[in-house]
Amino acid sequence: MLKQWLIAVVLVVVAAGGAFSWQYLAQEETENTQTQRPASKVNAISPAMEVVRDSVNAVGNLRALDQVELTTEVSGRVVEMNLDSGKRVERGQLLLRLDDRQARADLQVAEATLADARRQFERAQRLQANNSISRSQVDELRTAMDVAEAQRESARTRLDNHRIEAPFEGVVGLSDISLGTYLSAGTSVTTLDSTDRMELGFSIPERFLGQIRIGQNVRGTSPAYSDESFRGELVELGTRVSELSRTLPVRAVIDNPDGRLRPGQFMSVNLTLREREALVIPEQAVMIRGADKYVFIAEDGVARRVSVSLGSRSPGWVEVSEGLSQEDRVIITGQDRLSSGDRIEVVDDDKAIPDNRFASSPES
C-alpha cells in the first residue's frame, strides 16, 4: 500500500514538472518572437517655425470705387461719340456730343449782349465822375451788365450740356447709341466704372468685433479665377450689427491692376485677424480619437505617443500650440499602425512631406 502511494506521488511531481517546463518554453518562445519582430519603417519631420494667421472667412460682392450711369441733359442728335465698350478713358475725355449749333449761336448772342452792357456801364462810370449822369442810371447799367453775365453763363451751360465727358478715369460700359441717333433729355447713354481698385463688401460675425480693425489684410478669390487670389485691405467698418444675421458690414479695397475683376462679381473673402510665429507640422501626422488629438514622435528608435493642442490650419499644415518642440521628430507616415513603445526605423522620403507650408491664410 505504501509502495503504491509513493508511485502516485512521483507521477504527480513528474506531471507538474512537465507542465511548468512547457509554460516556460512557450513564454520564452513568445518573448523571442517579439524581440525578433522587425521595426516599422516611418518618415519623420521636425516641427518648423512659420508665420501663421488667425483669420475669418466670408462671402461678398464687388463694386467699383467710382461708378456712374451717364445720361443726356438735353435733347439732340448725336454728332460725335467715343463709346467703345471696355475702353479705358481719362477724366474729362469727350464720350458723346449732341448737335450744338443752336446752343453755340445762343452763346454768341449772350456774349455780344454782355460786351455791349459792359461798355455802357464803363461809359456811365466815366460820365458819373463829371456829374454828367445820375447815380441811379449807373446802377441800372450795372444791373443790366450783371444780367448779361448771367445770361452768358446760362448759354454756356446749355452748350456744355450737349457734351458728355468722363467725370473720372474709368472703363466704358455697353452702349446701343449710334451716330445720328436722336436722344431725348434723360436718355441713358452708357456706364463708367473705375476698376483699378475694387470695393469688396462683406459681413463679419459679431464674435470677431474685438479683433477687427482698419488696415487688416484681405484675400479674395473668385470662381472665375480659381487658381489666383487678389489682395487688399480693410478700409471701412459698419456702425451697426444686423439684428437678423448678427454680423457687422465691412468694406475692403481690392487691387485690380489688370481690370479682370468686374463690378457685381461674387468673391470668397479671407480676412486676416492676427499674424504670429508658431510651430507647424504636416496635418497628416495628427491622429484623432474622440476629443483626444495626438502624434507619434521618434525617440531612440522607438515611437512615443504625445498629446497635442492644435491652432490655425493651412492646406496640409496645422499649428501646434502645445505638446511639441522644434527638437522633436514627428512621425508623418505609418503612424496609424503604431502603438507607443513600438520599434521604428526612420527613413528619408521627400515625397512624404507636403511643400505648401503656410503660404495662404488658414481658415478660422
DSSP secondary structure, 17-54, as one string = HHHHHHHHHHHHHHHHHHHTSPPEEEEEE--EEEEEEE
Least confident of 5-9, 33-37, 151-155, 224-228: 5-9
Work out the percent of the chain whose per-residue pLDDT is above 90.
Answer: 50
CA distance 94 to 100: 14
Domain formed by 73-99+162-186, architecture:
Beta Barrel (2.40)
d(CA 58, CA 251) in angstroms, rounded, equals: 12
Whether residue 5 is predicted with pLDDT greater than 70 in this model: the reply is: no
Q: What pLDDT score does 135 carry?
A: 84
Per-residue cell: 124: 456811365
CATH number for region 56-64+195-275: 2.40.30.170
What confidence score (pLDDT) does residue 359 get?
A: 42
pLDDT value of residue 258: 83
Give DSSP secondary structure letters for 268-313.
Answer: EEEEEEEEEEEEEEEGGG-EEETTEEEEEEEETTEEEEEE-EEEEE
Reported as a single tens digit per residue, the pLDDT across 82-113 is 999 889 999 999 999 999 999 999 999 999 99
The pLDDT value given to residue 198: 92
Which is higher by pLDDT, 135 or 155? 155
Cell 512537465 belongs to residue:
18
Q: What is the mean pLDDT of the chain?
A: 84
pLDDT band at 361 (very low <50, low <70, confident <90, very high): very low
Looking at 3.40.1360.10, 1.20.1280.50, 3.30.390.50, 2.40.420.20, the CATH number of the domain 40-52+276-352 comes to 2.40.420.20
Q: What is the end-to-end Cα distance of the chain in Å, rounded?
A: 90
CATH superfamily of 104-159: Helix hairpin bin (1.10.287.470)
If you average pLDDT over residues 231-237, what whole number do you get?
Answer: 94
* 28-41: pLDDT as tens digits: 554 444 455 688 88
Look up the pTM and report it. 0.62
At residue 215, the pLDDT reads 93
Residue ranges per domain, the chain? 40-52+276-352, 56-64+195-275, 73-99+162-186, 104-159
Distances (CA, A) of 208 to 60, 204, 257, 271, 348: 17, 7, 31, 11, 43
Amino acid identity, position 310: L
Determine what percent of the chain falls in helix, strand and coil, rounding each to the nearest 5: 30, 40, 30
The reported pLDDT for the residue numbered 40 is 84
DSSP H or E run through 6: helix 2-35
Asked whether the CA dihedral 140, 145, 150, 152 is positive or negative, the reply is positive
Q: For 164-191, what is each residue's pLDDT tens digit?
A: 999 999 999 999 899 999 999 999 999 9
